[in-house]
Amino acid sequence: MQHTPDTAYHYNVMRRAIDLIDAAGDPLSLDALAGEMGMSPAHFQRVFSRWVGVSPKRYQQYLTLGHAKALLADRFTTLEAAHEAGLSGSGRLHDLFLRWEAMSPGEFAKGGAGLTIYWGWFDSPFGLALVMGTDKGICGLGFAAEMGEDWAMEDLVTRWPKADFIEDPLRLRPWVLAAFGAEEAELSHAPLYLIGAPFQIKVWEALLRIPSGHVTTYSEIAGSIGNPRAVRAVGTAVGRNPVSWLIPCHRALRKSGGLGGYHWGLPVKRALLAYESARIEA
């Protein structure tokens, strides 16, 4: 996906900034942060402002390790309330132009037998992304910035071991452009095709009810699907979400305010949360 000419570059700059911010402990000035990045303050300011619409000083606050606690205090979402407010289903997903349907349990049990899955690599705001899809919609999206391309490919392919995989980025490109909100997107929506066990799909549907820029907890998700004691199983299902970003598992946090895990690397989770927070306030 050609989101902008330098989206992958932006992610790499941001990733280095996370390391610097963590190592410093105290907030860094624009001049100090830009200097550590080997960039002029003006160029560094332009890169970040173009990416998320806020200054590097403000963005630093979103990248700090305490940002998750602030989100839980200020933007915690009760999933039942979100549902009652009409934030579920395709109506809640207006920001990503998504619609979705799920594979039947019988089809899932076949391990993808008889299913053709197309795949391709695309630049994204969060580094290189591997996207997979069937004729019905996107079924896989993983990030390679932290885990590597080979690992990302093996991870998604082994989820549906009996499927036929065909490299075809051109087929997927219109959906990917719509999914990441690219200016050149021509489609009004990016369809999702959820391939998972029934319990997993329940959890993923709950994740789809969390508005952009907001968060919830694993225990809240467990309660919302009618199984409040299944927090550990919910955490496993969240971790097995095959469609990162679009099924927003990065919005699930621990009650303590800890980030919890993230399948594609915690720096990516922090980037996703910071990106969404910045976009809300921009």
Report the alpha-carbon distance of residue 35 to residue 33 in Å, rounded.
5
Structure tokens at 279: 């976009």
Handedness of CA 7, 12, 17, 19 (dihedral sign): positive
HSE-CB of 92 using CA atoms within 13 angstroms: 25
Q: Which residues pair with 101 in a beta bridge?
A: 193
- Length of the chain in residues, anyone? 282
Catalytic residue among 139, 156, 190, 249: 249
For 86-129, the DSSP string reads: T-SHHHHTTTTTEEEEE--HHHHHTTTTT-EEEEEEEEEBTEEE
Q: Is 139 a catalytic residue?
A: no
Q: Which residues are catalytic?
A: 249
